[in-house]
Amino acid sequence: MRELLGAGFIILGIPFFIASTLGLLRFPDVYARLHALTKADNVGLGLICLGLAVQANSIAVALKIVLIWGLILLASSTGATLIASSALRHGSAPRRRSDKDTHADR
């Protein structure tokens, strides 16, 4: 039963990773791409970690997996702001809707 539940969570997590990769390829600028990496990826990873934690043999292992997810959330969120502020400082202005979107039809 636990294996089945764990596998269910892992399978649920995969579409979020695929969506995040699509966002990374299709979104028009660095800022929009960071949205894909900080949101869809983290939920996908969270579901996969949850699936692995459910299948773990002990509470300590399950907590370790959840701790890994928590640390990745923290690193990804902080890293996104650092990358965005660095991009902004170096002159890459965020795109507006009115700007011509060359990636939209890909």
Partner 1 sequence: MRLNAHKLTKWLDKWQPPPWHALLLRTLLYSGLWWVLTEGQGSLWIGALLALAIAFCAPLSVATWPAQLRWWKLPAFILFMLKLSLKGALEVATLATSQRCDANTLTYSYRFRFLTQPYQQLLMANLVNLTPGTLTLNVHHDALYIHILHHHPDVEAQLKLLESRIAGLYGLPQRSMV
DSSP 29: S
Name the nearest CA neighbour of 22 among 40, 9, 10, 49: 40
| In contact, 60 and 25? CB cutoff 8 Å | no
**Which position among 46, 49, 51, 54 is part of the footprint of partner 1 (CB under 8 A)?**
46
Task: Select the residue interacting with partner 1 from 9, 10, 27, 54 (CB under 8 A).
Answer: 27
Residue type, 88: L
User: Under a CB-based contact definition with an 8 Å cutoff, are residues 72 and 42 in contact?
Assistant: yes
Query: Considering the rule CB under 8 A, would residue 43 count as an interface residue with partner 1?
Result: yes
Q: Does 36 bind partner 1 (CB under 8 A)?
A: yes
Chain contacts with partner 1 (rule: CB under 8 A): 15-16, 19-20, 22-23, 26-28, 31-32, 34-36, 38-40, 42-44, 46, 58-61, 63-64, 67, 73-74, 76-78, 80-81, 84-85, 88, 94-97, 101, 103-105
